[in-house]
Structure 1
Amino acid sequence: MKTFLPQIERRIVVRPNQTFGILNYDMDNAYPQRMLELVSRSPTAKDCWNKRAKFIAGNGFEDATLGKQVINSKGLTMAKLLKAIATDKALFCGFGIHVNYNANCKIASVNYVKFEDIRMGDTDDAQTAGKFAVYNDWGRRTWKHIMRSKITFLDNYNPDAEVIKRQVIAAGGWSKYKGQLFYFNPEVDDYPLLEADSVWEDFETEAGIKTFNNREVTTGFLPSTMLFMQSRREEADNSTDNGRGGNTPSQLERDLSSFQGAKSAQKIIVIEYEDESSKPEFQPYAIQNNDKLFETTERSVEARIIKGFSVPKELVNAEKSSGLSNGSEKKEAIREFNDNTAPDRLELSETLESIFANYYSNINPAANWNIIPVPTNVADDAIGLKAGSAINQLLLSTLSPASKIATLVHAYGLKQSEAEAMVNPHNQ
């Protein structure tokens, strides 16, 4: 008897690219760019990314003066650097920081580098091994071809003075030295996957549903219809090309096209015909009820995306939670998500502490690199606004006092005495 184990296809394939001296980030070397595009088209994925980034960056540094420190000639502050690397870590699980040194081998400037712009050097290429390639268009969105002359190769981060001096000599002096790149990568010698890579297909699905809904609106929710009519060559000769890769539309086709769309609903179109045999026939054909199907699919896709990012659903769909009474569900979700993202905040603070230990000046005399978690009282604030507005509307309504008291007790969790005091304040 023979047995075999089914092979699970790898999400990304990392292969040497001898043309550029790098390791490709998937077959097309554009995995981060593709994922960014998919996330930007998926409302739920983008919301989850923003939520995760917000919780990793927290409320900034505990030492408020640290966040205001300027760390390069372009005016980048520590607070902005923290937000930028937290955003990349929330999606890609990694981030990049560029540093450059002065003649004393101390860090003189620190810059943020977009994670999607970084590629690892080919380990089999003596010139690029141990280096990182930085280029702003690996996905070829702007230019058709990648120009090696515009790729910047940076040495791997190593603050050892002797290492820096050797790198400066190899570069041809301080004026030509480009500095080093700190590349945070949980995979060490491999490229990391997206935080929610396991559900990236759902990003595409949600984007497709959005496109379908848009098409339904722009066509005025018209049912699918077939038009049967006799050929009329005096209107158009569709056997000839119009010079733009298509046939010239007839007047009838142009009229029918303008008849569709949300802004064209309820318009009247007049079609003339000479005899009964030439009368056009519009015949609708039955299709599956897409509304219910898409509604069910949208809910399941949204749930999987939220789960893929490990974001509590109460933080993404706060309006669907039942926590109008005291916000306890959202408060608990914030605590849970703070706990889940605590290791990320610790990694960021430890990384920044390590890098700036080699900075030319002491920008953090208090030596406090801790990041403040998102406070749970934001749930109280949000819930107070919603509940307060709803309660005011209830008190001003025409309902009987007994109904108002019952609603306050059962819907908003107030005590009987508190509800009575709010409805009948003059009786107290």
Structure 2
Amino acid sequence: MKTLLIEVWKRLTPWSKSADVYANDVDNGYPERMDRLINNSVTAKSAASIMVQYLIGKGFGPDADSIVINKAKNIKLIDFADDVADDLVKQRGVFVHINYNALYQIADFSVLPFEWCRIGKKDSTDYAGKIAVCKEWLKPKRNEIELIDVYNPRKKVIDAQVEKASGWEHYKGQVLYINMDTKLIYPLSRIDSVAEDCDSEAQASVYKNRLLRKGFFGNTLVVTRPLIAEGLEPGSQPHQEAESEREAFQKAIKESLGAENTGGVLCLEMDFAGEKLEDAILIKQIESKIDDELFNYTETSVRENILVAFNNLPSGLIKTNDSSLFGNSGEAIREMKRTYWENTFKERALLTSVINRLLAKSQDYSSLKVEPIKLIDDAAFNNPE
């Protein structure tokens, strides 16, 4: 008895000799591919947006949110938190660029686009000391790849890096790399296991659109006997008169059927047997080829799978037609919100930890410690009246 082994697709991270980095998949385009799948799926994009909101909550308060943590780029603390949350939600990892002042304090910080960053060569202790940054990794050019040191706030480490860079004015700073898949070089995207579901949802929309735009759906087919008699010489007076009568007849048919309100009218001429009127003309409506029940089942199935990938996001938090959820003063909705707040605890704690870690070593806000404000008040939940 033979066993059939089916090879399951796996994201690989091979060493790229041409760029001196660990590639993120064989084509080095995994982050971009996952991001595109999320953006093409209405469910995944909505789920990602909601999950980001649950990570940052109602912010950290007006005083903290208005703090500018990068004056050169005019990035406020709440903007930075949103950028970190976005990458943690979609890519399950984040790269943060950090600049220091001469006192070894963090002068500013900002998020580097995840798809721009790759891990450099590791040493004998399995430590990679450089992050390679490039805007295009599919066909990177060596002169477009910028190497930046990995985050290490120790004074002697920064001194060595500054000296190697020939002074503070040439020093590029460091990059803090957060990886939620600690056993992997790069984290797997949150939609890695439902990538095909995201694509299925997008392709279903494309398929229906093409049927409506280019297919026969909604057209009326009119079949008649030949309107030009055989034997008439093309270009002759009788032929021209018959052609004119054909055009007038087809125009009258389209106007009588209200073609402006349908997909269009298709006119076809062919020989019929018999002498009755019904044997001489046939009018048929072309029905839709879209199987609503099949599409509804498929779309519901992939939608549920995608929501599970986003930490079991309750479908009622995206959109629902169930009026019962709004009964009892909206208790069902509040329960969903509280449940999802708990479901996103790990990512929210990581986000908060990253922010406070950087603030603690910053030049202006070392005494500041932040915590996201809950989206739903516990007191209001326990006493809805």
Question: TM-score with structure 2 length normalisation?
Answer: 0.77
CA drift at 1:4:
8.5
Q: Read off the aligned partner of 1:155 and give its amino acid letter.
A: D
Contact 1:22-1:122 within 8 A present in 2 as well: yes
The corresponding residue for 2:64 is 66
CA distance in structure 2 between the partners assigned to 1:181 and 1:75 by the alignment: 19
SS of 2:110's partner is strand
Q: CA deviation at 1:352?
A: 1.7
Once the 2 structures are TM-superposed, how far is the Cα of residue 266 of structure 1 from its aligned partner?
A: 4.0
Shift of 1:292: 2.1
**Counterpart code for 1:202:** D
AA of the residue aligned to 2:347:
D
Identical pairs, percent: 29
CA contact (8 A) 2:217 2:289 kept: no
| CA distance in structure 1 between the partners assigned to 2:321 and 2:370 by the alignment | 35
Q: Secondary structure at the match of 1:166?
A: helix
State whether residues 118 and 132 of structure 1, in contact with CA within 8 Å, keep that contact through their aligned partners in structure 2. Answer: yes
Q: Structure 1's 104 and 327: CA in aligned 2 closer, same or farther, altered over 3 A?
A: same
CA distance in 2 between counterparts of 1:125 and 1:148 reads: 25
Count of residue correspondences: 344
Alignment of 1:93-172 (within 5 A): 93-123=92-122, 129-138=128-137, 140=138, 145-172=139-166
Contact 2:218 2:264 in 1 (8 A): no
1:347 aligns with 2:360: no
Residue type of the partner of 2:217? F
What letter matches 1:214 in structure 2? N
312, 317, 320: which is aligned to 2:319? 317
Q: How far apart, in 2, do the equivalents of 1:201 and 1:125 lie?
A: 38
Residue equivalent to 1:246? none
Note closer, same or farther for the CA distance 1:276–1:25 as it changes in structure 2 (3 Å cut). same
Residue in 2 that maps onto 1:412: none
**Any residues of structure 2 matched to 1:373-388 within 5 Å, and which?**
373-375=374-376
Flag the 1:130–1:295 CA change in 2: closer, same or farther, 3 A. same
Residues 18-57 of structure 1 mapped to structure 2, 5 A cutoff:
18-57=17-56
Task: Specify the SS of the correspondent of 1:335.
Answer: helix
Contact 2:218 2:286 in 1 (8 A): no
* Aligned twin of 1:190: 185
Distance 2:89 2:41 in 1: 16
Q: Does 1:216 align with 2:211?
A: yes
Instruction: Name the CA distance, whole Å, in 2 between partners of 1:353 and 1:17.
Output: 35
- Cα distance between partner residues in 2 of 1:170 and 1:74: 26
Aligned equivalent of 1:358, options 356, 361, 376: 361
Work out the CA distance in 1 between the residues paired with 2:335 and 2:121: 46
Preserved contact between residue 199 and residue 304 of structure 1 (Cα < 8 Å)? yes
Whether the 8 Å contact between 2:218 and 2:262 is mirrored in structure 1 is: no
1: CA distance, partners of 2:46 / 2:338:
19
Distance, in Å, in 2 between the alignment partners of 1:306 and 1:109 is: 36
Which amino acid in structure 2 is aligned with residue 318 of structure 1?
T
Report Cα offsets for 1:366-390 as digits up to 9, x if no partner: x43211121259x99xxx9xxxxxx
Residue deviations 1:339-373, cap 9 Å, x none?
Answer: 11122222122222222222122x254x4321112
Distance in 2 separating the partners of 1:321 and 1:184? 41
CA–CA separation in structure 2 for the residues paired with 1:149 and 1:123: 21
Q: SS state of the match for residue 60, structure 2?
A: coil
Q: How has the CA–CA distance of structure 1 residues 294 and 102 changed in structure 2, closer, same or farther, with 3 Å as cutoff?
A: same
1:66–1:364: 8 Å Cα contact kept in structure 2?
A: no
RMSD: 4.0
Partner of 1:200: 195
Classify the secondary structure of the residue corresponding to 2:188: coil
- Following superposition, the deviation at residue 89 of structure 1 comes to 0.8
Q: CA–CA distance in 2 between the matches of 1:218 and 1:125?
A: 59
> Separation in 2 of the partners of 1:190 and 1:7?
25
3-state SS of the aligned residue for 1:323?
helix
Task: Name 1:399's counterpart in structure 2.
Answer: none
Q: What is the CA-CA distance between 1:90 and the residue it aligns to?
A: 1.2
Which residue in the other structure is 2:340 paired with? Answer: 337
| Structure 1 residues not aligned, in runs of 5+ | 228-233, 235-251, 385-428
- TM-fit CA distance, 1:137: 2.7
Q: Is the 8 A contact 1:94 1:183 kept in 2?
A: yes
Q: Call closer, same or farther: CA 1:82–1:272 in 2, change over 3 Å.
A: closer
- Higher strand proportion, which one? 2
Q: How far apart, in 1, do the equivalents of 2:288 and 2:124 lie?
A: 58
Q: 1:321 to 1:46 in 2, by over 3 A?
A: farther
Q: Distance in 2 between matches of 1:129 and 1:329?
A: 48
Structure 2 counterpart of 1:332, which letter? Answer: E
The answer to whether the 8 A contact 1:314-1:321 is kept is: no
Question: Where in structure 2 are the equivalents of 1:67-82 lying within 5 Å?
Answer: 67-72=65-70, 73-82=72-81
Q: How far apart, in 1, do the equivalents of 2:212 and 2:166 lie?
A: 62
Report the AA paired with residue 350 of structure 2.
Answer: E
Distance (Å, rounded) in 2 between the aligned partners of 1:285 and 1:321: 37
Mapped partners of 1:321, 1:206: distance in 2: 26
Q: Which runs of 5+ in 2 are unaligned?
A: 224-233, 235-246, 273-279
Secondary structure at the residue paired with 2:157? helix
